[in-house]
Homo-oligomer: A and B are copies of this chain.
Amino acid sequence: MSAGASAAQARPWDGHASAGEIARALGLPIQGDASAAIHRIAGLSQAKSGQISFLSQARLAPQLDSTQASVLIVRPDQLVRAQANPAVHAVLVSPDPYLSYARLTQWWVQRHQPLREQQVAALPEASPPASCRIHPSAVVDARARLGENVTVDALAHIAAGAVVGPGARVGSHCVIEAGAVLGADSVMRPRATLARDCRTGQRALLQSGAVIGGDGFGFAPEQGRWVKIEQLGGVLLGDDVEIGANTCVDRGALDDTVIEDGVKLDNLVQIGHNVHIGAHAAMAGCVGVAGSARIGAGCTVGGAGMVLGHLELAPGVHISAASLVTKSITQPGVYTGVFPIAENAVWEKNAATLRQLSRLRDKVRKLERGGPD
């Protein structure tokens, strides 16, 4: 996945703002150098010079000492610690840094959206190569870039700023947005969507209704309401990835959601933002993987299996159908957690006892100590 490396260099939402401008936009007091230049919002541990980050959970406070971010948003009680880091040029003080981060993403998008549109509008216009077969009803913007031998079926839409690799086939009613890249020899079946800033490797196969690049599900709570965190990352698919019908792969919050080479996802699978799926993993229908989970290479998840957020599965872990993974799994093997099905009457009796299971255990303990009293 050579595309991955270059992605670390420049990202679609990179922009420019000073610490002072950000503080004013968010209505926050600032300590330090208000002229500090910021080009990206980043997580505390990934942030580098010229980037802004925030501390939302007290347990991550030690990262304040090591982060390379130039500007930080922290609670008042973390101000001194943040300022002690020599890499930090300015600190914005917020009673709720996570909420401030949400507002920052909104301001960032509003500020840079016009610039992005100008960049796309400034792209040179060109006709597709003569080797392409494009249905007359398809809408291929002159500022999209198509490789040789691309096929575009009826009523597909390839937007300005999209890139389609040679030999790719774009099905009827597909959408490829600005900044998206469909790799060489890839196939999009009818009604697949490759949203802005989402890229596939070579020989991707996107089944009908697949949505690559919906927004990750990110909100900051504010007085009982939800404030949207704009999702600034994209999706990066490796080579030979297959995505099933009506399956969704969300874009990352700040970085990309990554699916490595050879991964196969069945239909109606949900992949949350910033998930990382290792090479040649496979997931059956109706699986869900919540945000920021890391699935090791060669893992499999049976139908309707679920993996909670921020967990890690070691390579070679196999999750049985309908099982919920609630903690990280470090050893390869087969893992299961499903209630055995039975005739309903039998289930009801067992379930009734199960509801009192810890009491049953207590009774057995008492019996072990000398029988009932």
Binary contact track A314-336/B, C-beta < 8 Å → 1, others 0: 00000111111110000001111
Q: Check A272 against B288 for contact (C-beta < 8 Å).
A: no
Q: Contact check: which of B266, B285, B333, B351 meets A344 at CB < 8 Å?
A: B333
Q: Check B264 against A286 for contact (C-beta < 8 Å).
A: no
Is A94's beta carbon under 8 Å from chain B?
A: no
| A323 nearest CB neighbor, chain B only | B341
Binary contact track A290-316/B, C-beta < 8 Å → 1, others 0: 100000001000011010100000000
A227 to chain B, nearest CB (A): 10
Q: Check A351 against B355 for contact (C-beta < 8 Å).
A: no
A280-B211 CB under 8 A given contacts A217-B285, A323-B341, A335-B343:
no
Q: Contact check: which of B175, B224, B304, B334 meets A343 at CB < 8 Å?
A: B334
Binary contact track A187-205/B, C-beta < 8 Å → 1, others 0: 0011101010000000001
A162 to chain B, nearest CB (A): 11
What CA separation (Å) do A259 and B361 show in the bound complex? Answer: 44
A63 to chain B, nearest CB (A): 27
What CA separation (Å) do A160 and B84 show in the bound complex? Answer: 63
A355-B344 CB under 8 A given contacts A284-B290, A322-B306, A339-B339:
no
Binary contact track A260-276/B, C-beta < 8 Å → 1, others 0: 00101011101010000
Is A207's beta carbon under 8 Å from chain B?
A: yes
A127 to chain B, nearest CB (A): 18
Residues of B within 8 A of A368 (CB): 363, 367, 371-372
Binary contact track A122-158/B, C-beta < 8 Å → 1, others 0: 0000000000000101010000000000000111010
A246-B211 CB under 8 A given contacts A321-B308, A333-B344:
yes
A304-B306 CB under 8 A given contacts A195-B190, A353-B361:
yes
What CA separation (Å) do A236 and B169 show in the bound complex? Answer: 26
| A250 nearest CB neighbor, chain B only | B267
Is A66's beta carbon under 8 Å from chain B?
A: no
A362 to chain B, nearest CB (A): 9
A273 to chain B, nearest CB (A): 10
What CA separation (Å) do A326 and B207 show in the bound complex? Answer: 28
14 contacts between A and B (CB under 8 A): A139-B154, A154-B159, A157-B172, A205-B228, A214-B267, A246-B246, A304-B304, A324-B338, A326-B341, A336-B341, A337-B339, A337-B341, A339-B351, A350-B358
Give 18 new A-B contacts, CB below 8 A, not counting A244-B248, A286-B306, A338-B351: A137-B157, A175-B190, A175-B191, A189-B214, A214-B245, A215-B244, A219-B282, A225-B262, A226-B262, A248-B285, A284-B290, A326-B338, A333-B344, A335-B343, A336-B344, A342-B355, A353-B360, A356-B361
A interface with B by C-beta (< 8 Å): 135, 137, 139, 153-155, 157, 159, 171-173, 175, 177, 189-191, 193, 195, 205, 207-209, 211, 213-215, 217, 219, 224-226, 228, 240, 242, 244-246, 248, 250, 262, 264, 266-268, 270, 272, 280, 282, 284-286, 288, 290, 298, 303-304, 306, 308, 319-326, 333-344, 346-358, 360-361, 363-364, 367-369, 371-372
A-B residue pairs, 10 tightest by C-beta: A337-B341, A214-B245, A270-B285, A349-B358, A334-B344, A336-B347, A368-B372, A322-B324, A211-B245, A248-B267
